[in-house]
Amino acid sequence: MTTAWVVNPVGPLRGDVAVRGSKNAVTKHLVASMLGNSPSTISNCPDIGDVDITISMLEALGCEVDRNDTTVTVNPGTLHSSRVPIRFSGMNRIPILMLGPLLHSVGEAFVPLVGGDDIGSRPIDFHTDALKKMGAEINITEEGLEAKASNLRGAHIELPYPSVGATESVLMTAVLAQGRTVLDGAATEPEVIELALFLQRMGARIEMRPNRRYIIDGVDELSGASHHLKGDRIEAFSYLTAGLITGGEVRVQGCSQDRLVTAISTLSRMGARFEITDSSVSAWADKLEPAAVETDTHPGFMTDWQSPMVALFTQCEGLSVMYETVYENRFTYVPALNKMGAQIETYNTALGSIDQRFVGSSTPCSVIVRGGAPLQGTDVVVPDIRGGFAYVLAAASAEGTTTITGTHHLDRGYNRPIENFTELGLDIKRIEVPKPPEAD
Ligand code: EPU
């Protein structure tokens, strides 16, 4: 048996959703806590699988972790092991980020192979190349990465692409390394800046320069710090889309406008209207026009907004284009939307202006959506976390019942989604069903 979400559309979704701290910041803050010489406290944590997994990894390393509702306190003082157990292999992308902090505290580290969603090849060469430049010896085995370093030192590191994770790896290693690290070609996503500010709060010396450069002067020690996480911009966009795709209006609380600027400008271009205050953003539309959108690094249209937007395109009369430039394989959810009646064609040519990162790949990087076709509920299997949310959106705007399996992907990254959708008026329930044979 497996868990399924059963969705019965009810018409326009309306109401309020409060988002919590973002999935892609909370876990990094928990890892950064390993670097302090006293406990750190992270508040506004979402209730998601990735937090459970990261806390279990920290506990396996010996850290004492206290979780009280939305607040997590990590005491790194009891850390004694250098090995993240192999049972965490493939669960999420966090173990690789623990290499630097483990090397600083115990001089050696083992982390199992990183996991996360199957959205194309997700190499870790930027992380390992940077750590090697800083003095780590790294040996990649079938099971994971073994690393050793008696003394990590600053270096000049140039990332070939502004990778979020590799930037975070370098920041969390350079802050306690000897001397200066100059990091070029770095990511500037809000979650990365949030982490850099937390490290500064812990006593790190980090300068942010124009043109994707960070300068980090290593210090001898860092103390614990506290931080109230900022709202998840992926969830915020996804719920705004839930209102728009059903012809309703959702007001999202807890994610500031600056984190949504490109989402708001893109949806505005399509005809959406907004009410924006210091604490909330709500969106509605009389009619939405099609659009051409390409995903990009910040401040561009983020890759994690791509699948909800494509779901929305299916209900905008006319031809829309989505070009994915960050990940190699992020349209695995398209066949299921087509099974529901959407008219989406995939292409492996670049239908946009940004350089194609995966030239020669056989997986599609662009889609053309012929919007306006009615959707029918059916049985679908979630391929990855963001694709899964697109299914819920499509199901909410379809005719008839949709049964969604593979929802463990959604549980890993969305804070109480069933409760939130129920508050918005959707008829959505979690049930147990026999395991389906394979993904759509
Ligand atoms: N890349 C490499 N080598 C590396 C690292 C990355 O080639 O060593 C490539 C990747 O293959 C990809 C590109 O660089 O093509 C960008 O990857 P990045 O490192 O920025 O992604 P990430 O850190 O693994 C985080 C989020 C993703 C989000 C991306 C981009 C976390 C845990 N994950 O991934 O979130 O899409 O940044 O903003 O922070 C999600 O939440 O659904 C999700 C996938």
Read off the pLDDT of residues 328-383 as tens digits, 9 standing for 90 and up: 999 999 999 999 999 999 999 999 999 888 888 889 999 999 999 999 999 999 99
User: What's the structural domain count of the chain?
Assistant: 2
Nearest atom in ligand 1 to the alpha carbon of residue 117 is 44
Instruction: Using pLDDT thresholds of 50, 70 and 90, give the confidence band for residue 416.
Output: very high
Do 371 and 429 fall into the same domain?
Answer: yes
In the predicted structure, residue 170 carries a pLDDT above the cut 70: yes
Do 316 and 360 fall into the same domain?
Answer: yes
Per-residue confidence (pLDDT) for residue 358, from 0 to 100: 83
Ligand 1-lining residues (CB < 6 angstroms): 23-24, 93, 117, 122-127, 161, 163-166, 187, 189, 302-304, 326-327, 357, 385-386, 413
Backbone conformation region of residue 372, classed left if phi is above 0, alpha if psi is from -120 to 50, else beta: left
Q: Which domain holds residue 98?
A: 23-228
| Domain termination site, one of 228, 250, 280 | 228
Give the model confidence (pLDDT) of 80-91 as tens digits: 999 999 999 888
Q: How far apart are CA 174 and CA 179, in angstroms?
A: 8
Do 46 and 157 fall into the same domain?
Answer: yes
Closest CA to ligand 1's atom 22: 165
Token pair for residue 342?
Answer: 């959407």
Q: Which amino acid is at 161?
A: Y
Expressed in angstroms and rounded, the spacing between residue 1 Cα and the centre of ligand 1 is 32
Are 154 and 82 within 8 A, CB to CB? no
| Domain termination site, one of 181, 213, 228 | 228
Rounded to the nearest integer, the mean pLDDT of the chain is: 95
Token pair for residue 163?
Answer: 């990778």
Do 245 and 152 fall into the same domain?
Answer: no
Expressed in angstroms and rounded, the spacing between residue 302 Cα and the centre of ligand 1 is 11
Instruction: Using pLDDT thresholds of 50, 70 and 90, give the confidence band for residue 113.
Output: confident
DSSP strand pairing (402-405 vs 64-68) = unpaired
Q: Indicate the range of 22-31, 330-339, 430-439 predicted with least confidence.
A: 430-439
Per-residue confidence (pLDDT) for residue 109, from 0 to 100: 97
- C-alpha separations of 246 from 10, 11, 241, 348 in Å: 9, 6, 8, 30
Instruction: Using pLDDT thresholds of 50, 70 and 90, give the confidence band for residue 438.
Output: low
Closest CA to ligand 1's atom 17: 163
Distance of CA 209 to the CA centre of its chain: 25
Do 161 and 240 fall into the same domain?
Answer: no
Q: Which amino acid is at 365?
A: C
Expressed in angstroms and rounded, the spacing between residue 162 Cα and the centre of ligand 1 is 9
Give the model confidence (pLDDT) of 379-414 as tens digits: 999 999 999 999 999 999 999 999 999 999 999 999
Residue to mutate (ligand 1; options 164, 194, 328, 363; most atoms within 8 A of CB): 164
Do 242 and 220 fall into the same domain?
Answer: no
In this prediction, residues 23-45 reach a mean pLDDT of 98
In this prediction, residues 125-135 reach a mean pLDDT of 97
82 burial type by CB count under 10 A (0-12 exposed, 13-18 middle, 19+ buried): buried
Expressed in angstroms and rounded, the spacing between residue 163 Cα and the centre of ligand 1 is 6
State the DSSP code for 156.
Answer: E
Coil, helix or strand at residue 124? coil
Do 186 and 205 fall into the same domain?
Answer: yes
- C-alpha separations of 169 from 1, 356, 440 in Å: 39, 25, 35
In this prediction, residues 131-153 reach a mean pLDDT of 95
- The CATH number for 334's domain is 3.65.10.10
Nearest atom in ligand 1 to the alpha carbon of residue 189 is 38
Q: Indicate the range of 1-5, 63-67, 338-342 predicted with least confidence.
A: 1-5
Q: How far apart are CA 409 and CA 267, in angstroms?
A: 26
Nearest atom in ligand 1 to the alpha carbon of residue 358 is 15
Do 187 and 313 fall into the same domain?
Answer: no
Do 281 and 191 fall into the same domain?
Answer: no
Per-residue confidence (pLDDT) for residue 116, from 0 to 100: 62
Q: Which amino acid is at 398?
A: A
In the predicted structure, residue 439 carries a pLDDT above the cut 50: no
Closest CA to ligand 1's atom 29: 164
In the predicted structure, residue 117 carries a pLDDT above the cut 80: no
Do 306 and 203 fall into the same domain?
Answer: no
Q: How far apart are CA 319 and CA 299, in angstroms?
A: 25
Expressed in angstroms and rounded, the spacing between residue 75 Cα and the centre of ligand 1 is 28
| Domain termination site, one of 202, 228, 254 | 228
pTM tops 0.75: yes
Per-residue confidence (pLDDT) for residue 115, from 0 to 100: 64
Do 43 and 155 fall into the same domain?
Answer: yes
Active-site hit among 117, 232, 304, 440: 117
Is 355 one of the catalytic residues?
Answer: no
Per-residue confidence (pLDDT) for residue 440, from 0 to 100: 42
Per-residue confidence (pLDDT) for residue 121, from 0 to 100: 59
Do 152 and 293 fall into the same domain?
Answer: no
Distance of CA 110 to the CA centre of its chain: 24
Coil, helix or strand at residue 239? helix
Q: How far apart are CA 93 and CA 206, in angstroms?
A: 24
Nearest atom in ligand 1 to the alpha carbon of residue 126 is 8
